[in-house]
Structure 1
Amino acid sequence: MKQHKTYLTGIKPTGIAHIGNYLGAIKPALEKISHNKDERHIYFIADYHALNLIKDRNLLKKYTYSIAATWLALGLDPNRVIFYKQSDIPEIFELSSILACMTPKGLMNRAHAYKAKVSENIKKKIDPDTDVNMGLYTYPILMSADILLFNTDVVPVGKDQVQHVEIARDIAENFNKTFGNTFSLPKYVLNKETAIITGSDGRKMSKSYHNTLEIFETEKVLKKYVYSMKTDSSLPTDPKDPDNSNLFSMYKQFATQDEINDLRERYHQGIGWGEVKRILFNKINDYLEEPRESYKNYTDKTWLIDEFLEKGRHEARQLAKPFLEEIKSKIGVG
């Protein structure tokens, strides 16, 4: 009988993490960690997934350390979770090959990332498969291996990753039907409060819109960003709707409930946008002051990160190796 309910979270090292990554993925994932001994929490750096985009070895190493340092600086405790690099767990890639043989091509044809790229190429009137590598095409299979190898029960995701969890579930069901009950059927959990984080222009925070802010930017850059955030032309004395304000929406992610209630009341009474921005900047800056220093410490001393990841590699493989042997035995190659 299964002893633990397993939660799994992975982030690709394709850049420096921004505020949207923190509020939409990192913060909700960290909040789900509990002291419950019946829960197992797994966090990994999805460096092989990043290879679809990053073709510079130095840049990939830099981003890998940066993402690891981000998790650690924001409170991830490697003594309470399993924390590793995807590339350190060879069983993931062996399972990925097995799962590929259980996955209909039509399922991959429907994957959002692949369909989006093909659609973009068709609009440009070029070959539909231009710049489509097999890593992109089979991305959902590798992600399924990430999830299923650890018999994951729950995967916290953003909206754009929901389909991948559903695909992993489909693949698991197909395997279980063919070879007998083997994999847990994963479910996704979506944090609705932080699913959409707006950037400085009021649109979803995204690198493609150039409206993001790196989590550990300097105080000066943070202030410039906050003061550039889009507002309407209402007067300082005009009552304002906090629930339709991107400033208030971001403030809620960093403030206490009492502080949120306070600012909400000031919105209703009338408050100038300049004052709201001052309050927001001070709140975020205070909140990130200590993590900012911690992040710098980790990126300056990457050997500390290596030690944590080595510990996680050992713990992850202790789970992965025997389970992969069980899987191989079921399919007739073990």
Structure 2
Amino acid sequence: MSKPVILTGVRANNDIHIGNYFGAILPIVDMAKRRSADFDINLFIPDLHSFTTPIDHSKLYDSIRSNARIYTAAGLPLDNQAIHLYRQSRIPAHSELAWILDCFTGFGEMSRMTQFKDKSRKFIDSKMSEDELTNEQKAWDTIHTNVSVGLFNYPVLMAADILLYSASYVPVGDDQTQHLEFTRDIAERMNRKFGDLFVVPKPVAQQHQFFGNDQGLRIKDLVNPTKKMSKSDDSGKGVIFLGDEPQAAHKKIMSATTDSLGKVQYDRENQPGISNLLEILTLVRQDAGKDVSLEQTISQYTGMERYGDFKRIVADEVAEFLANFQARLAAVDEQAIEDKLESSERDMNLVANETLHRVQTAVGLRR
């Protein structure tokens, strides 16, 4: 590729909520528009990652399409030739390179991945009674029987996603930094053994310095504002999905957990619910084109004593945001999206296959 590469993507299953939108999708789109003059932007849809945990496979294809539509509704310029929008599964080199890298990866390395341990634990918590959970051997038997190899080694596929395109910069959250470090480790290991096969991504500290504030705020759950908003919330009461009816979202905001202090203040430790609502209000105002900072929103509402009145302000503007976004989503040009996907996938196959052939030659599969 002619310029340095930034690579990023958002998993394509389940409904996308406003935490995903403001914390990942919108910052990605803004970053792509600002940096595309100096970088190639690889914005991929990681659909092969989508079923490392159980999903409804009958909905996956539509979720993949929805992912591309949401990027477009968020303002992604489909006519920008430096921005490449593509589906991971349409580039077979991802899977083949992942297998080759698997064979140079230690079982112990993957066993130490905290995301695997955390997600496995959540899975067995949902499958086992409290009495069963006290039996450590039974818990591990449940993991070994029910948790997929795909969940265990998906950091290797993530490494292939990055290394195929010589990506230097990959914006990742705190939960993915261990995987980025593994990508660096496996790239350096292969380079030592076979020569200069891969561009090694920048270290995590340099990634954070490079992207700065590009990665957005982490919106919290409305019911439990000490944890981030998550698709895995079974009740749905603490999550606002982009597909929610505006009035349903309005009710969720009005029911959001606050505190007993009775005064609006931005205090993440002592008033996480109110602080979360202040952040959400700032983000929906910014999405509406208003030049407002979090500090300005805090200043405007600090000291307000009627939480119900404050919630109603937030709820009204969230409902308006959803109505406007859903109108933009309904108006996206489906053919333009299809054309962009197909042209990007043609280009990305050429780049990925060149890297894969170099690796295949190094390991003895090609002359």
Q: What TM-score, normalized by structure 2, do the two folds share?
A: 0.80
Following TM superposition, by how much is the alpha carbon of 1:90 offset from its aligned partner in structure 2, in angstroms?
A: 0.6
Among 60, 85, 109, the residue aligned to 1:107: 109
Q: Distance in 2 between matches of 1:136 and 1:267?
A: 44
SS in 2 for 1:208: coil
Following TM superposition, by how much is the alpha carbon of 1:96 offset from its aligned partner in structure 2, in angstroms?
A: 0.9
After the TM superposition, which of the residue ranges 4-13 and 285-294 deviates more from structure 2? Answer: 285-294
Q: 1:55 to 1:25 in 2, by over 3 A?
A: closer
1:249 is matched with 279
Matched, 1:28 2:27: yes
Among 96, 99, 107, the residue aligned to 2:98: 96
Decide whether the 8 Å contact of 1:150 with 1:320 is kept in 2. yes
Following TM superposition, by how much is the alpha carbon of 1:88 offset from its aligned partner in structure 2, in angstroms?
A: 0.3
CA RMSD across the alignment = 2.6
One-letter code aligned to 1:96:
A
Following TM superposition, by how much is the alpha carbon of 1:174 offset from its aligned partner in structure 2, in angstroms?
A: 0.6
Decide whether the 8 Å contact of 2:279 with 2:294 is kept in 1. no
Misfit runs of 4+, over 6 Å: none
Q: Distance in 1 between matches of 2:112 and 2:168?
A: 24
Following TM superposition, by how much is the alpha carbon of 1:253 offset from its aligned partner in structure 2, in angstroms?
A: 2.2
- State how many pairs are aligned: 328
Matched, 1:308 2:308: no
2:271 is matched with none
Matched, 1:75 2:75: yes
Unaligned runs of 5+ in 2: 125-131, 269-274
2:145 is matched with 130
Following TM superposition, by how much is the alpha carbon of 1:61 offset from its aligned partner in structure 2, in angstroms?
A: 1.2
* % same residue: 31
One-letter code aligned to 2:218:
I
**Deviations, residues 255-274 of structure 1 (Å, cap 9, x unaligned):** 34546455323333435223
Following TM superposition, by how much is the alpha carbon of 1:314 offset from its aligned partner in structure 2, in angstroms?
A: 1.1
Q: Distance in 1 between matches of 2:265 and 2:56?
A: 46
Decide whether the 8 Å contact of 1:17 with 1:215 is kept in 2. yes
1:317 is matched with 349
1:205 is matched with 229
**Deviations, residues 126-181 of structure 1 (Å, cap 9, x unaligned):** 20413122211211111110111111111112222221111111111111111112
Decide whether the 8 Å contact of 2:78 with 2:337 is kept in 1. no
One-letter code aligned to 1:102:
F
Q: Distance in 2 between matches of 1:180 and 1:21?
A: 39
Following TM superposition, by how much is the alpha carbon of 1:295 offset from its aligned partner in structure 2, in angstroms?
A: 1.8
After the TM superposition, which of the residue ranges 59-68 and 116-125 deviates more from structure 2? Answer: 116-125
Among 149, 164, 181, the residue aligned to 1:149: 164
Q: Distance in 2 between matches of 1:272 and 1:29?
A: 36
One-letter code aligned to 1:167:
F
Q: Distance in 1 between matches of 2:144 and 2:119?
A: 8
SS in 1 for 2:167: coil
2:60 is matched with 60
1:37 is matched with 37
Decide whether the 8 Å contact of 1:24 with 1:158 is kept in 2. no
Matched, 1:175 2:190: yes
Decide whether the 8 Å contact of 1:12 with 1:49 is kept in 2. yes
Unaligned runs of 5+ in 1: none
**Deviations, residues 17-68 of structure 1 (Å, cap 9, x unaligned):** 0011112211221221225533011111111111223454421112112222
SS in 1 for 2:9: strand
After the TM superposition, which of the residue ranges 190-199 and 64-73 deviates more from structure 2? Answer: 190-199
Decide whether the 8 Å contact of 1:92 with 1:145 is kept in 2. yes
Decide whether the 8 Å contact of 1:10 with 1:46 is kept in 2. yes
Following TM superposition, by how much is the alpha carbon of 1:332 offset from its aligned partner in structure 2, in angstroms?
A: 2.6
SS in 2 for 1:156: coil
Q: 1:41 to 1:309 in 2, by over 3 A?
A: same
Following TM superposition, by how much is the alpha carbon of 1:206 offset from its aligned partner in structure 2, in angstroms?
A: 1.6
Q: 1:157 to 1:35 in 2, by over 3 A?
A: closer
